Amino acid sequence: MAIKFGTDGWRAIIADEFTFANVRSVTQAIANYLLNQEGSREVIIGYDNRFLAPEFAAIVAEVLTANGFTIYLPERSVPTPVTAWAIKQYKAAGALMLTASHNPPNYCGLKFIPDYAGPAVPEITDAIENEMKKVITGGQIKRQDLEKARESGLVKELEVRTAYLQYLKGLIDVDVIKAANLKVVVDPMYGAGIGYLADFLKEAGCEVHTIHNYRDPLFGGSLPEPSAKGLVELANKVKEKEFDLGLALDGDADRFGVIDNDGTYITANEVLYLILAHLVKNRKLMGPVTRTVATTHFLDKLAAANGLEVFETPVGFKYIGQFLQEKDCVLGGEESGGMSIRGHIPEKDGILATALIAELRAVERQSLRDILEDLHGRYGKLVSERLDLKVSPEVKTRVLGELSDFAPDKVGGLTVTERLSIDGVKLNLEDGSWALIRPSGTEPLLRLYVEAPNKECLRLIQQDLISKLRI
């Protein structure tokens, strides 16, 4: 069994690779890693609303307690960002989170969150994979009955919802939201975010209507992904009720989705620069910004206008988290819907992001579209699109082999001004457009990201790159 920790932990199909036996093996590897570290011997366990997630969490608890750890185990699902936040509250060695985030219902996953409460960096996941090899080749897997562990005091209840929501009040201007009398539809997408964002907004004086707010391991027959396609019902409900906002969370509430009052889906890139503009203009926050190589350069436009530095990272929030900690960034974000801010944990948090959008809407007293139009009028519009190009394994291998030497002088008729290779190959172009080609780490896909001043230019760049790479 070859278990790899990707950009956000290990994910696999339930009953295929994601089995009780394999979860025991991975947990033992993480336990071995932690036993090699100094510090706390307490660990948080979290899980989402997926099929068998509570049972997998119990398996994790049995292995950790058998290895001498005291664990905090919740009675119900807990969002990933709240699980990460709990590490700081309990001064724990880290957390094990059972989730496959926004993946299809037949997937589950296990991610390790270290003591700094952000995604594990490569040196940590590499160390866990090394421990995994030892476990598979004959290492001992310890386990004990969960009830015996409870009797011995090694299992404690994790109850952080109330404390987290109280903490969130310190990050969000609740008074300004109360004064705006917002009407919001909340969609937790049957996931672990049920009872978090909706209750927070209700306490902040909003009129809240909630959909999909019960556990369904099949996620209504779809994906718990807050994309435009996944939020059609939310958009229709916002228009039907004539509400101000629709706010959504993915399956483990670390990603966000936003719908404007007219039912328009606001892209993750747009949400990121709306929030940055809000932090700078209304909160008067100053400092660096960090984004992934695949994320909108509109953040760069805003940063340049305000004298802020921008740090570019490979794809994966673990890299964003590092810059949030090391450079005291005001905001860190990625185009796939992950975001955090200064003063919060270095983990993406959809609850925080959507609460900030409610705060922005309350301060500005106008639609998100109007705010976006104002920003575009001042700084110039950029159109972004990601294409997931399904290719055969042979084509994927060929293109990856060719990318190392891929350095065209022009793309879409525009001169290439800079070539970057921190994650795939990124080409910055003379008019501010850019393109990035990178492989999926798990699927036979090539991802093509393009951003340009208009759709016509964007299409020309896409077509030229697809032709040049013979995809």
Chosen domain end from 352, 379, 406: 379
Residues 60 and 174: beta-carbon distance below 8 Å: no
Interatomic CA distance for residues 267 and 239, integer angstroms? 18
Residue in 424, 454, 422, 445 with CA at minimum distance from that of residue 436: 424
Residue 5 forms part of a structural domain: no
Do 313 and 169 have their domain in common?
Answer: yes
Amino acid at 189: M
Q: Do 227 and 268 belong to one domain?
A: yes
Which of 219-254 are b and which e, b meaning 16 or more Cβ less than 10 Å from the residue's Cβ?
A: beebbbbbbeebbebbbebbbeeebbbbbbbbbbbb
Pair (350, 417) in one structural domain: no
Is 2 within a domain?
no
Q: Which amino acid is at 152?
A: S
Domain boundary among 159, 191, 222: 159
Whether 21 and 154 map to the same domain: the answer is: yes
Asked whether residue 118 is domain-assigned, the answer is yes
Phi, psi of 213 (to 5 degrees): -105, 45
Residues 358 and 433 in one domain: no
CB 24 within 8 A of CB 15: no
Distance separating alpha carbons of residues 113 and 95, to the nearest angstrom:
5
What sign does the CA torsion over 10, 11, 13, 14 have?
positive
**Strand, helix or coil for residue 90:** helix
Same domain, 212 and 348: yes
- Give me the residues paired with residue 209 across strands: 185
CATH number at residue 452: 3.30.310.50
Q: Which of 10, 3, 118, 109 is nearest to 53 (CA)?
A: 109
pLDDT the model gives residue 155:
97
User: For residue 3, is it within any domain?
Assistant: no
What does the buried/exposed string (b/e) look like for 51-60 if buried means 16 or more CB atoms within 10 Å of the residue's CB? bbbbebbbbb
Q: Is 26 among the domain residues?
A: yes
Question: pLDDT digit string (tens) for 146-160?
Answer: 999 999 999 999 999
- Is 1 contained in some domain? no
Nearest-angstrom CA–CA distance, 301 and 308: 10
Note down the domain range covering 436: 383-468
Per-residue pLDDT of 357-391, as tens digits, reads: 999 999 999 999 999 999 999 999 999 999 999 99
With DSSP H G I counted as helix, E B as strand and the rest as coil, what are the percentages for the chain, rounded to 5? 40, 25, 40
Residue 198 lies in a domain: yes
Torsion of CA 358, 362, 366, 370, to 10 degrees: -40
**Residue 350: which of 218, 230, 194 has the closest Cα?**
194
Find out whether 49 and 131 touch, Cβ atoms under 8 Å.
no
What's the CA gap between 273 and 242, in Å, rounded? 25
Q: Which region among 86-100, 341-355, 438-452 has the lowest average model confidence (pLDDT)?
A: 438-452
> pLDDT tens digit string along 52-94?
999 999 999 999 999 999 999 999 999 999 999 999 999 999 9
**By C-alpha distance, which of 218, 268, 262 is closest to 248?**
268
pLDDT (tens digit per residue) in 385-434? 999 999 998 999 999 999 999 999 999 999 999 999 999 999 999 999 99
Q: Does residue 270 share a domain with residue 371?
A: yes
Residue at which a domain ends, from 344, 379, 414: 379
| 434-439 and 338-341 beta bridge pairing | unpaired
Q: Which pLDDT score is estimated for 1?
A: 58
User: Is there a single domain that holds both residue 149 and residue 192?
Assistant: no
What is the model's pLDDT at position 139?
A: 85
353 assigned to some structural domain = yes
Q: Identify whether residues 367 and 424 lie together within a single domain.
A: no
Number of domains in the chain: 3
pLDDT of residue 138: 84
Same domain, 148 and 172: no
Global pTM?
0.95
3-state secondary structure of 245: strand
- What is the reported pLDDT for 329? 97
Q: What is the pLDDT of residue 65?
A: 98
Asked if 356 and 434 sit in the same domain, the reply is no
The model's confidence at residue 4, banded by pLDDT at 50, 70 and 90, is confident
Q: How confident is the model at residue 443 (pLDDT cuts 50, 70, 90)?
A: confident
Q: Tens of pLDDT along 272-309?
A: 999 999 999 999 999 999 999 999 999 999 999 999 99
Q: Assign residue 103 the CATH number of its domain.
A: 3.40.120.10
Closest Cα to residue 268, out of 333, 348, 359, 362?
333
Predicted confidence (pLDDT) per residue in 444-467, tens digit: 799 999 999 999 999 999 999 999
Together in a domain, 411 and 446: yes
* pLDDT (mean) for 242-249: 98
The Cα–Cα gap between 188 and 183 comes to 16
